[in-house]
Structure 1
Amino acid sequence: MLNRRTLLTAGAFTVAGLAPARNSPTSPERRGYTGDVQRLRGTTKMFADLDDQYGGGHARTAVAAYLTRDVAPLLRGTSGRARQDLLCAAAELTYLAAYMAMDAGAHDLATRYYISTIRLASEAGDVVLRATGLRSMAVQAAELGHHTEAFDLAEAAASSLGGRGPDRTRAWVRGMQAEAAAGVGGRWDALNLLRQAEAQLERADSLPEADWTGNYRRESFEHQTGLTLTQLGDHATAARHYAASMSARRPVERRTRALIGLRAAHAFLLTSAVDEAAAMVLSLGTDVRSISSARVRNQLRQLRADWQPYRSNAQIAAADRLVTSA
């Protein structure tokens, strides 16, 4: 993981960050126009929808190929006013590539994509996109157990915003600060930051769909509350927040529903609420095994290991059969 100083001083983007692999064919540079930006954003949305439904392991190589063969030549060939919009659109796609790589378990690659996101956003002067990249690196660090790095990255994301940006985005970053503070043992700081994030979210005047990044909803806050309370060891309350988040998710969010549902089940199990844990897994159906996500697989592996002492429970046995036969 990069240290905070490296991230805060990340300079202008260089196309080396999106260079194709050795011996891969390269495309000649070309100038980009408004239509190219619209096409790029449309393609990003299409890939984001696939990621939501099928996980980061699905279509990840297609995103990488599109970045190197279509986006990089545009960045090499575009200057002037058109470049800023193109940089922002490229940063959004690079951010998606990073998130998909992280979800697929390719963490070194994900980190490189996140760095490219931050540099693209920095050159474009887009503080919200820059904060988005930093915040998501904090998520990655937290999930890998690097709690000090997660804390530093979450603080860097907040510093990057500097009080700017929509309330919804600021709440999104503040919520990650809460989770990261809990990870380094800052119980009261974490709870206070959660209250601040909730207040910012409640006064947000933008629609959740207004921005593709920083699209913070109440169900997202419930999930982050669960993650924060898990770090603090309050598994019973965390389970209720996870369950609330999972039940409010839209049908297209199959990967997210599966991941949070498994986290809820694990939290229930840790409080000996065995039937609730099994019911949560059964409610997910076959999505748990059909989604291409290393994060989902890892969460499932941990859950199955911890419910072994309860295999005589009929509900646990049914849940186990479901996730192993799907």
Structure 2
Amino acid sequence: MTTRQPNTALEHLFRESGWTLRQFAQAINRIGTERGTPLNYTKPSIHQWLQGQMPREAVRPLILEALSRRFNRPVTSSEAGFPVSPDQLKRPTGTVDGLLDLGREDMDPSRRSVLGAGLFSVALTIPGWQDVVGRMDAIKVDPQRRIGQPEVQAVTAMTERLSDLDDDFGGRYARPMSAAFLVNTVAPYLKADASEEVRKSMLSTASFLCYLTGWMAVDEGAHGRAQQYYVKSLELAGASGDHMTYCHVLRGMSVQAANLGHGVPAVRYANAAAEASPESSPRMRAFMAGQQAHAYALAGERKNALHSLREAERAVNQAESQLGTFGGFSSATLAYSTAEVRHALGDTKGSVESLHDHFHLRDSSDSKRSEIKFGAMLAERQLEIGHLEAACATWATALDSYPGIHSGRVDEQVRRIPSLLFPYRSNPVARQMYERSRELCTK
């Protein structure tokens, strides 16, 4: 009969974390909830793991992520005394083959809930511009296929259509189509014979489509999968020399981290995007500084947050006479960024005022999904400052359009309404909204 040996590796990490057993368990449970699989671990579970009982395979990635977040660095299976999983033993695949693997899993309904797809990693290693610019694994060219600018234009046009579908109906609706297009059309184009100019243009276009697919994954709540798409997008952008898309993706990664409440990585990505930016037009500065402001605020860096917000305001004002926006950043976006900064710095009332400004400044170019999402956000903050009936009215407007949206983020906001209104059911307006939201949640 063998005696179980204590997991000294995990014990060392636990001591280094400074957590109590209860705090370690709570950190794991929070990540489970974030991933959509609520857990209820307590002190005895942690104690058993430290004494040598091996955690379930499905839980090990959550334990590693909890420790990675605590230390702000990657923590590996072997470092924690866990067996290395078969997935970790796989040899790294090339950019195109890796993209094919990602897309095929998203096309297959039976694999779209694959373990870890929704697990966001704060310690993700991202390739720097100098690491990816002009570099890519050697691709075996298909001599039977040659592409030119018409194929590039077709992929660009299809990407715009997919972006419109995402805006109109949500990421859950559009992502399988985007993944199928990546696998069936774009990946073969990347392996086709082409001139150097066409090849770089196709790589650049594929990079943005990959980023868009990652953005759809974020909207669906598959945060780990989104990060995988984002890294592939960075690799493709570097291979094509597309500095602008590279910066755009980094900023998107900051937005993802910020929306999940992770201020430190949000700052890291936002600053990396700003530092790598190939231009400093007013719109570009506003696009970058607005996100930096939100990230700094979440990280508790008040002075930097307010400085970046003022920079974004100056840049938007300088660009007011110019047509168009960069990355959709406009006066309405600035008002939203201001709302997020104010809320993160503890000024909920000011955040409500800024969200009202956002809705007054919106125009037809803004998506229905963002209208619902920001409306639900406004309602929650109105309730937070005691404006119960105003919150219910705001929720009512948002819910009018909700049935047509297939968005995991919006679903999550709607699911919160009944619990938020439960204490106020004695109010007729609140009770009516409580019942309406409960009914929507059961459909």
TM-score bucket of the superposed structures, by smaller chain: 0.7 to 0.9
Q: Does 1:267 align with 2:352?
A: no
Against the structure 1 CA distance between its residues 237 and 79, is the aligned structure 2 distance closer, same or farther, given a 3 Å change threshold? same
Offset of residue 289 of structure 1: 4.0
Q: Does 1:185 align with 2:266?
A: no
Against the structure 1 CA distance between its residues 256 and 292, is the aligned structure 2 distance closer, same or farther, given a 3 Å change threshold? same
User: Would you say the 8 A contact 1:243–1:261 is kept in 2?
Assistant: no
* Alignment partner of 1:217 out of 326, 330, 335: 330
2:413 partner amino acid: Q
Offset of residue 239 of structure 1: 1.2
3-state SS in 1 of match to 2:221:
coil
Query: C-alpha separation between the residues in 1 aligned to 2:392 and 2:181?
Result: 41
Offset of residue 323 of structure 1: 3.1
Q: Does 1:123 align with 2:260?
A: no
Query: C-alpha separation between the residues in 2 aligned to 1:160 and 1:281?
Result: 40
1:90 partner amino acid: A
Q: Which residue of 1 aligns with 2:205?
A: 89
Q: Does 1:238 align with 2:351?
A: yes
Query: C-alpha separation between the residues in 2 aligned to 1:277 and 1:176?
Result: 27
1:236 partner amino acid: K
Against the structure 1 CA distance between its residues 17 and 5, is the aligned structure 2 distance closer, same or farther, given a 3 Å change threshold? farther
Gaps of 5+ in 2: 1-64, 75-93, 109-140
User: Would you say the 8 A contact 1:103–1:293 is kept in 2?
Assistant: yes
More moved, 118-127 vs 192-201 = 118-127
- Equivalenced residue count is 313
Q: Does 1:33 align with 2:148?
A: yes
User: Would you say the 8 A contact 1:240–1:264 is kept in 2?
Assistant: no
- Quote the sequence identity (%): 32
3-state SS in 2 of match to 1:151:
helix
Against the structure 1 CA distance between its residues 270 and 152, is the aligned structure 2 distance closer, same or farther, given a 3 Å change threshold? same
Q: Which residue of 2 aligns with 1:253?
A: 367
User: Would you say the 8 A contact 1:57–1:103 is kept in 2?
Assistant: yes
Offset of residue 51 of structure 1: 0.8
Query: C-alpha separation between the residues in 2 aligned to 1:322 and 1:243?
Result: 24
User: Would you say the 8 A contact 1:17–1:112 is kept in 2?
Assistant: no
Q: How does 1:144-159 map to 2 (within 5 A)?
A: 144-159=260-275
Per-residue CA deviations over 1:38-96 (Å, capped at 9, x if unaligned) read 11111111111111111111121010010011001111224511112112211121111
1:284 partner amino acid: A
The structure that has the greater radius of gyration is 2
Query: C-alpha separation between the residues in 1 aligned to 2:303 and 2:390?
Result: 29
3-state SS in 2 of match to 1:61:
helix
After TM superposition, the score normalised by the length of structure 2 is: 0.66
User: Would you say the 8 A contact 2:415–2:437 is kept in 1?
Assistant: no
Query: C-alpha separation between the residues in 1 aligned to 2:261 and 2:399?
Result: 29
Q: Does 1:47 align with 2:162?
A: yes
Q: Which residue of 1 aligns with 2:181?
A: 66
User: Would you say the 8 A contact 2:417–2:434 is kept in 1?
Assistant: no
Against the structure 1 CA distance between its residues 201 and 113, is the aligned structure 2 distance closer, same or farther, given a 3 Å change threshold? same
User: Would you say the 8 A contact 1:286–1:323 is kept in 2?
Assistant: no
User: Would you say the 8 A contact 1:168–1:215 is kept in 2?
Assistant: no
3-state SS in 2 of match to 1:19:
helix
Q: Over aligned residue pairs, what C-alpha RMSD do you find? A: 2.6
Query: C-alpha separation between the residues in 1 aligned to 2:173 and 2:291?
Result: 26
Query: C-alpha separation between the residues in 2 aligned to 1:79 and 1:187?
Result: 50
3-state SS in 1 of match to 2:171:
coil
1:52 partner amino acid: D
Gaps of 5+ in 1: 7-12
More moved, 171-180 vs 199-208 = 199-208
3-state SS in 2 of match to 1:284:
helix
Q: Does 1:101 align with 2:220?
A: no
User: Would you say the 8 A contact 1:311–1:317 is kept in 2?
Assistant: yes
Q: Which residue of 2 aligns with 1:306?
A: 420
Q: Which residue of 2 aligns with 1:294?
A: 408
Query: C-alpha separation between the residues in 2 aligned to 1:40 and 1:94?
Result: 12
3-state SS in 2 of match to 1:59:
helix
User: Would you say the 8 A contact 2:309–2:338 is kept in 1?
Assistant: yes
Query: C-alpha separation between the residues in 2 aligned to 1:166 and 1:93?
Result: 24
1:17 partner amino acid: G
Offset of residue 290 of structure 1: 3.5
3-state SS in 1 of match to 2:267:
helix
After TM superposition, the score normalised by the length of structure 1 is: 0.88
Query: C-alpha separation between the residues in 2 aligned to 1:128 and 1:208?
Result: 17
Query: C-alpha separation between the residues in 2 aligned to 1:207 and 1:89?
Result: 24
Offset of residue 215 of structure 1: 2.1
More moved, 295-304 vs 105-114 = 295-304
Against the structure 1 CA distance between its residues 5 and 201, is the aligned structure 2 distance closer, same or farther, given a 3 Å change threshold? farther
Query: C-alpha separation between the residues in 2 aligned to 1:171 and 1:182?
Result: 16
Against the structure 1 CA distance between its residues 198 and 99, is the aligned structure 2 distance closer, same or farther, given a 3 Å change threshold? same
Per-residue CA deviations over 1:96-142 (Å, capped at 9, x if unaligned) read 10100110011111101111111111222222211110011111112
Against the structure 1 CA distance between its residues 277 and 217, is the aligned structure 2 distance closer, same or farther, given a 3 Å change threshold? same
3-state SS in 1 of match to 2:329:
coil
